[in-house]
C-alpha cells in the first residue's frame, strides 16, 4: 500500500465539525491500508489572533517568543485531530515539529528547513499502524533549542518536507479549492482545473500570484521528487474511492505529463509598485548603488527596465517592488540619493503584473508577440516586460488587470475543454 502525507489548511480545520470531517478523510485512507501522516495548520483566524496578541503585548517583541506563541495554534489542532481519530478507533498521536525533529535555520518567523528525521514515524507505521498528526509551520533550531516558524503558508512546506523524509508516495494538500486552475475562476468563469502541472510551472504560478501553494513547498517537491496533489477538503469523504484519483491537480515532473500545452496558466498580482529613477549618470556601479541598499533591507526587486538617453550620458531605471515595500523603498533610495545621483524619483502603486506561464514556450516561437498584439488591440499599455524560458510578465495599469487576464486566457485557448 501507499505511504501518504495529508495536509489540511486553516479553513479545513476551522472548528470541531470540520476537524471531524478531516478525520473521516484520514480514516478513509487508513482503512484502505495506507500509512498516513497528517500535517495541520492552526484553526482559521487563530494565527492572526496570536500575532495580534504579540503586538499588543509589545510592538517590539522578541522574535523567539513570537515563534513560541504563534506556533501554539498548530499544536492545538494536532491534539484535537488526534483525539477525534482515537474516538473513531484509530491509533493516532500528535507531534510537534521539535519532536520529530524538524531542524530549521535560526531565522525566527521565516526559518528554512534544514533536515527532517522521519525514522520514528516510519517505525510506528510498521509496528503500530499509527497515524501521525503533525503540527505544521514549526520546527526547532538545533543549536539553541528554540521553536521556530516557517512563515505564512509554512504548513505546506512542512508537509512536503515530511513527505520527502518518510519517502511518501504522494503529498495531498487539502484546501478550499479543488485544484489548480488555468487562472482565477473569479476573474475568468471559464477557467479550467488542470489535471497535471509540472513543478517548474507551479513554481512560476505560485511566485507570480497564484495562491494555491506556498512557493517553498513547490521547490522542495521539485528537489526531492515528491508528487503533490492539490484537492478539496470539502468533498464528502465517503464519496471518494481511496484507490482511485479524485478531482484535483497533480504537481509532478515534466516527464510525467504526456501532452504539454504551450501555455498552462495566467497568473496576476495587484500587489505591485513601480519606481522610476530619472536622469541618473550612465556609468559602472550605478545599478549596484541602487539595488544594493534595497537588497540590504530585504526588498525584492522584480521587473527592471533601463532607458538610455540619446547622448548615452544619462539613463532612466524603472523597476517593481512589492506594494507593501513601496514606501520603504522610497525611503531607502532617498537616503542613497547623493551616492546614486538621480534628478527625480517617480513612483506608482496603481499597477499590476500579469504573467503567462507554460513549459511549451521552450519549443514555440512568437508566444509573447501574440500577447503584445492582443493587449494592444484592447488599448492596454505595457509599462515593462520580463521574460524567462517558460514565462513572460507584463506590467500594466491595475484598472486593466481583469481585461488583460481574460484576453490572454482566451488568446491561448485556455477556456476550451
Question: What percentage of the chain has pLDDT greater than the value 70?
Answer: 98
CB atoms near residue 325 (< 10 Å): 18
Task: Please give the torsion angle defined by the CA atoms of residues 138, 141, 145 and 148, in that order, rounded to the nearest 10 degrees.
Answer: -30
Q: Provide the 3-class DSSP secondary structure of residue 92.
A: strand
Residue 154, pLDDT score? 92
Q: Report the pLDDT value the prediction gives residue 1, as an integer from 0 to 100.
A: 67
Q: Give the integer Cα–Cα distance in Å for 388 and 398.
A: 23
What cell does 413 get? 485557448
| DSSP reduced 3-state for 215 | helix
Compute and round to an integer the Cα radius of gyration of the chain: 24
List of residues 6+ apart from 241 with CB closer than 8 A: none
Please name which of 80, 70, 248, 82 lies closest in space to residue 176, comparing C-alpha atoms: 248
d(CA 355, CA 49): 34
How far is residue 136's CA from residue 148's CA, in Å, rounded to a whole number? 11
**Quick one: which of 356, 370, 352 has its CA closest to 409?**
356
**Predicted local distance difference test score (pLDDT) of residue 235:** 84
Contact 27, 88 (CB under 8 A): yes
Distance CA 38, CA 7 (A): 6
Nearest-angstrom CA–CA distance, 42 and 21: 16
Which residues sit opposite 4 in a β-bridge?
36, 170
Please check whether residue 78 is in contact with residue 134, taking contact to mean a CB–CB distance below 8 angstroms: yes
Q: Which of 272, 156, 259 is nearest to 213 (CA)?
A: 156
Query: Which residue segments constitute the domains of the chain, with CATH numbers given?
Result: 3-255 (3.40.1160.10), 266-411 (3.30.2130.10)
What 8-state DSSP symbol labels residue 130? P
Q: What is d(CA 228, CA 38) in angstroms, rounded to the nearest whole number?
A: 14
Decide: 208 and 271 in contact? Cβ < 8 Å: no
Name the 3-class secondary structure at 278. Answer: strand
The pLDDT of residue 417 is 61
Q: What is the pLDDT of residue 72?
A: 97
In sequence order, the β-bridge partners of residue 397 are 351
User: 35 - beta bridge partners?
Assistant: 3
pLDDT in tens, the chain (417 residues): 699 999 999 999 999 999 999 999 999 999 999 999 999 999 999 999 999 999 999 988 999 999 999 999 999 999 999 999 999 999 999 999 999 999 999 999 999 999 999 999 999 999 999 999 999 999 999 999 999 999 888 999 999 999 999 999 999 999 888 899 999 988 999 999 999 999 999 998 888 766 778 889 999 999 999 999 999 888 888 878 777 778 899 999 988 887 678 899 999 999 899 999 998 888 888 889 999 999 998 898 988 888 776 667 888 889 999 999 999 999 999 998 888 888 889 999 999 999 999 998 887 888 999 999 999 999 999 998 988 889 999 999 999 999 999 999 999 999 876
Query: According to the model, what pLDDT value does residue 209 have?
Result: 67
Amino acid at each position: 500500500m501507499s505511504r501518504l502525507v495529508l495536509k489540511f489548511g486553516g479553513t479545513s480545520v476551522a472548528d470541531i465539525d470540520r476537524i471531524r470531517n478531516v478525520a473521516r478523510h484520514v480514516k478513509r485512507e487508513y482503512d484502505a491500508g495506507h500509512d498516513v501522516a497528517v500535517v495541520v495548520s492552526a484553526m482559521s483566524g487563530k494565527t492572526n489572533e496570536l500575532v495580534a496578541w504579540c503586538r499588543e503585548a509589545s510592538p517590539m517583541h522578541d522574535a523567539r517568543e513570537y515563534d513560541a506563541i504563534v506556533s501554539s495554534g498548530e499544536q492545538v489542532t494536532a491534539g484535537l485531530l488526534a483525539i477525534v481519530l482515537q474516538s473513531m478507533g484509530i491509533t493516532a498521536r500528535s507531534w510537534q515539529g521539535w519532536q520529530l525533529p524538524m531542524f530549521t535555520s535560526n531565522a525566527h518567523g521565516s526559518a528554512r528547513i534544514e533536515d527532517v528525521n522521519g525514522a520514528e514515524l516510519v517505525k510506528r507505521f510498521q509496528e503500530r499502524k499509527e497515524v501521525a498528526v503533525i503540527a505544521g509551520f514549526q520546527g526547532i533550531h538545533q543549536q539553541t533549542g528554540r521553536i521556530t516558524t516557517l512563515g505564512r503558508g509554512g504548513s505546506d512546506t512542512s508537509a512536503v518536507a515530511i513527505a520527502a523524509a518518510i519517502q511518501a508516495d504522494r503529498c495531498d494538500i487539502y484546501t478550499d479549492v479543488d485544484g489548480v486552475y488555468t487562472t482565477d475562476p473569479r476573474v475568468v468563469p471559464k477557467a479550467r482545473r488542470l489535471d497535471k502541472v509540472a513543478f517548474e510551472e507551479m513554481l512560476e504560478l505560485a511566485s507570480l500570484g497564484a495562491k494555491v501553494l506556498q512557493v517553498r513547498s513547490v521547490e522542495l517537491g521539485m528537489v526531492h521528487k515528491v508528487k503533490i496533489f492539490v484537492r478539496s477538503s470539502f468533498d464528502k469523504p465517503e464519496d471518494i474511492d481511496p484507490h482511485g484519483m479524485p478531482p484535483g491537480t497533480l504537481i509532478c515532473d515534466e516527464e510525467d505529463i504526456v501532452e504539454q500545452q504551450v501555455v498552462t496558466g495566467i497568473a496576476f498580482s495587484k500587489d505591485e509598485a513601480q519606481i522610476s529613477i530619472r536622469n541618473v549618470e550612465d556609468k559602472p556601479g550605478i545599478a549596484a548603488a541602487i539595488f544594493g541598499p534595497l537588497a540590504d533591507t530585504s526588498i525584492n526587486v522584480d521587473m527592471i527596465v533601463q532607458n538610455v538617453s540619446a547622448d548615452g550620458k544619462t539613463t532612466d531605471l524603472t523597476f517593481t517592488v512589492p506594494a507593501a515595500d513601496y514606501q520603504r523603498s522610497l525611503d531607502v533610495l532617498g537616503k542613497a540619493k547623493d551616492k546614486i545621483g538621480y534628478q527625480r524619483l517617480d513612483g506608482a502603486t496603481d499597477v499590476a503584473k500579469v504573467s503567462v506561464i507554460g513549459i511549451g514556450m521552450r519549443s514555440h516561437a512568437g508566444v509573447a508577440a501574440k500577447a503584445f498584439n492582443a493587449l494592444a488591440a484592447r488599448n492596454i499599455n505595457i509599462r515593462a516586460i520580463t521574460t524567462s524560458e517558460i514565462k513572460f510578465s507584463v506590467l500594466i495599469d491595475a484598472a486593466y488587470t481583469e481585461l488583460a487576464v481574460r484576453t490572454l486566457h482566451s488568446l491561448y485557448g485556455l477556456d476550451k475543454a
